[in-house]
Amino acid sequence: MTHLTVSIMVLDLDAALDAARRAKAVGADLVEYRIDRFTDDRDAVVELLRRSPLPCILTCRPTWEGGDYDGDDADRISLLEYAGTSAHPPAYLDIELAAYQRSANLRQKVGLVVDHPGQVRPIDTGLILSSHDFSGRPADLLRRAADMADAPACRVIKLAWAARSLRDNIEAFEIIRQQVKPTIALCMGEHGLPSRVLAKKFGALLTFAALETGAETAPGQPSIKQLKTLYRWDRLDADTRVYGVIGHPVGHSLSPPIHNAGFDAVGYNGVYLPMSIPPEYEHFKATVAEWLACAPLHFHGASVTIPHKQNLLRFVEEQGGEIEPLASTIGAANTLAVRDDGSLYASNTDYAAALDAVCEGLNIAREELAGKRVAVIGAGGAARAIVAGFAHYGATVVIYNRTRDKADELVAAFNGKTGKVVAASPDKLCGACCGVFINCTPLGMHPHVGATPMPDPPDWGPGTVVFDTIYNPLETRLLREAKAAGCHTISGAEMFVRQAATQFESWTQQAAPLDVFRGVIRQHLSQ
């Protein structure tokens, strides 16, 4: 069993007990009392242990190991000894490996209060030997693990280090899997989230959670609510399939709440994580290859966003995987799926999402787009996928972009393949030139909600469809004005939901719960 452990920085007895009670109420089964700054009153520490609503780890972390205790080490150990020999000792006592190795006197004192082969009285308290490095992976990480494993009194090995990249998590998983003793291996910082969420999948002794956002006791610690509700803690097991959104940055992506809620809704054994990878291809390749190579991780796919959409194509091509033909034509893919035989498939679900949202608005099948006139405003990444998709189905696409050269590039790439693609000056944009208008610029996006790519609301023709790829806000100024003029409007949220749904279906082989996805978007964008 992997304990969901809330770490509490103790400053006040009643406040700490209240935090422990709240931790228990929201599902923690272990607490860690960090008494780094609560060392003046020994009896208050004993009282804390006596009244604790959950089994606990007692930790007094010195400043030299990243904690807040800056007093004398002998006093610290004497306090831990006092608490450990009380009538209600902690379930675990955490002592730094460095301190333990440094001092025979400390080892002897700790030996009086923890369970070990030579003990003279029955003791339940287990010793956690721990090592923390806040600057990166220590060169002797594996030596430290071996020393902990060799120490007869050590019941639990704990290694925590600052992850330099997502790749560090793989080593944490391997350490947990290989150790002969219960192990905690956690990576700190933004890149370390997988090690914290997936600790249960790999059978670690515990993971740490903050009681609430802002109460973290280490960098990158998620809140217990995030672990339980966003990252599906209760559902995780050794077989859980892992997915993620690869981008840079990805901190505010809506994809983790959407896909995790989707997995929940259909009862799929998966979890979806943010995966920040620096822009260069070498980083993308090294990280994705290492995640794929770690068989027990069950890394089965990813959403891929800026700046990695081209990197995904290159990677899948190099690995001998299959690429959706239109993704190749577009030159960008946003979905990686790992098939059951381990082969890779890259596809682009953006263009299909836009096509289907518009076709539904027009009440036609994709094939009936032939000959329809579609105005695309903008010529960046989103426009490229959309132009390619509509042109592929025979539509006539008119690109209106501030920088003419970029529009001309799209014309050169896609004109004549099936449909017709032309470029026009933005000042020629009017309500009658096309039956479908698609904004692919950020004009109108939060926080600049007063902006619009069509500042003089045109005289839209009857039955016009106006689609804004922006999803924050859900209704942009462009859509508001188009709706007031009687147009059929489509929000970027619909495109986002549909591209996510196609990804979800390619991973799970199950229909995506669209209403759940829409609900998550509404909830997040209304906050």
Q: Which stretch binds ligand NAP (CB under 6 A): 216-224, 309-317, 363-371, 375-383?
A: 375-383
| Cα(392)–Cα(175) distance, integer angstroms | 50
Active site residue 427: no
Find all residues with CB under 8 Å of 105, minimum gap 6, and list them: 74
Nearer to ligand NAP, 183 or 439 (CB): 439
Backbone dihedral region for residue 46 (phi beyond 0: left; psi -120 to 50: alpha; all else: beta): alpha
237 burial (CB, 10 Å; 0-12 / 13-18 / 19+) is exposed
Position among 93, 277, 470, 521 found at the interface with ligand NAP (CB under 6 A): 470
Residue 496, interface with ligand NAP (CB under 6 A)? yes
Q: Which residue is catalytic, options 3, 116, 158, 300?
A: 158
Residue 383, interface with ligand NAP (CB under 6 A)? yes
Question: Cβ atoms within 10 A of the Cβ of 279, count?
Answer: 12
| Cα(213)–Cα(12) distance, integer angstroms | 19
Position among 89, 194, 222, 492 found at the interface with ligand NAP (CB under 6 A): 492
- Shortest distance in whole angstroms from residue 217 CB to ligand NAP: 36
Find all residues with CB under 8 Å of 390, minimum gap 6, and list them: 355, 358, 369, 374, 376, 397, 419
Nearer to ligand NAP, 16 or 332 (CB): 332
- Shortest distance in whole angstroms from residue 508 CB to ligand NAP: 20
Residue number, nearest CB to ligand NAP? 380
Nearer to ligand NAP, 126 or 381 (CB): 381
- Shortest distance in whole angstroms from residue 79 CB to ligand NAP: 55
Residue 397, interface with ligand NAP (CB under 6 A)? no
- Shortest distance in whole angstroms from residue 404 CB to ligand NAP: 9
Residue 406, interface with ligand NAP (CB under 6 A)? yes
| C-beta separation of 62 from 99 below 8 A | yes
Position among 379, 391, 410, 466 found at the interface with ligand NAP (CB under 6 A): 379
For tokens 């035989």, name the residue: 341
The interaxial angle of helices 167-178 and 141-150, nearest 10 deg, is 20
Backbone dihedral region for residue 363 (phi beyond 0: left; psi -120 to 50: alpha; all else: beta): left
- Shortest distance in whole angstroms from residue 245 CB to ligand NAP: 12
| Coil, strand or helix at 422 | strand
Length of the chain: 527
| Cα(49)–Cα(26) distance, integer angstroms | 20
Question: Cβ atoms within 10 A of the Cβ of 287, count?
Answer: 21
81 burial (CB, 10 Å; 0-12 / 13-18 / 19+) is middle
Active site residue 309: yes
Nearer to ligand NAP, 209 or 495 (CB): 495
Residue 233, interface with ligand NAP (CB under 6 A)? no
Residue 219, interface with ligand NAP (CB under 6 A)? no
Position among 440, 454, 466, 521 found at the interface with ligand NAP (CB under 6 A): 440
- Distance from the Cα of residue 95 to its chain's centroid: 31
Query: Among candidates 33, 102, 108, 57, which has minimal Cα distance to 78?
Result: 108
Q: Which stretch binds ligand NAP (CB under 6 A): 57-65, 359-367, 402-410, 456-464?
A: 402-410
Nearer to ligand NAP, 151 or 357 (CB): 357
Residue 253, interface with ligand NAP (CB under 6 A)? no
Position among 23, 160, 382, 465 found at the interface with ligand NAP (CB under 6 A): 382
Distances (CA, A) of 19 to 12, 13, 214, 495: 11, 10, 13, 42
Position among 39, 207, 415, 441 found at the interface with ligand NAP (CB under 6 A): 441
Nearer to ligand NAP, 153 or 357 (CB): 357
- Shortest distance in whole angstroms from residue 190 CB to ligand NAP: 23
Site for ligand NAP in 32-91 (CB under 6 A): none
Q: Is omega for the bond preceding 447 within 30 degrees of 0, making it cis?
A: yes
- Shortest distance in whole angstroms from residue 173 CB to ligand NAP: 32
Helix (H), strand (E) at residue 128: strand 126-133
Alpha helices in 52-140 (DSSP H): 73-84, 97-102, 104-111
Q: Which stretch binds ligand NAP (CB under 6 A): 51-59, 148-156, 389-397, 466-474?
A: 466-474
- Shortest distance in whole angstroms from residue 380 CB to ligand NAP: 2
Position among 211, 227, 323, 445 found at the interface with ligand NAP (CB under 6 A): 445
Sheet holding 3-9, edge to edge: 183-188, 154-162, 126-133, 92-96, 56-59, 30-34, 3-9, 206-209
- Shortest distance in whole angstroms from residue 484 CB to ligand NAP: 22
Find all residues with CB under 8 Å of 120, minimum gap 6, and list them: none
Q: Which residue is catalytic, options 298, 309, 372, 392?
A: 309
Active site residue 239: no
Nearer to ligand NAP, 37 or 402 (CB): 402
Site for ligand NAP in 330-369 (CB under 6 A): 350
> Looking at the annotation, which residues are catalytic?
132, 158, 309, 350
Interface residues with ligand NAP (CB under 6 A) are: 350, 378-383, 401-403, 406, 440-443, 445, 469-471, 492, 495-496, 499
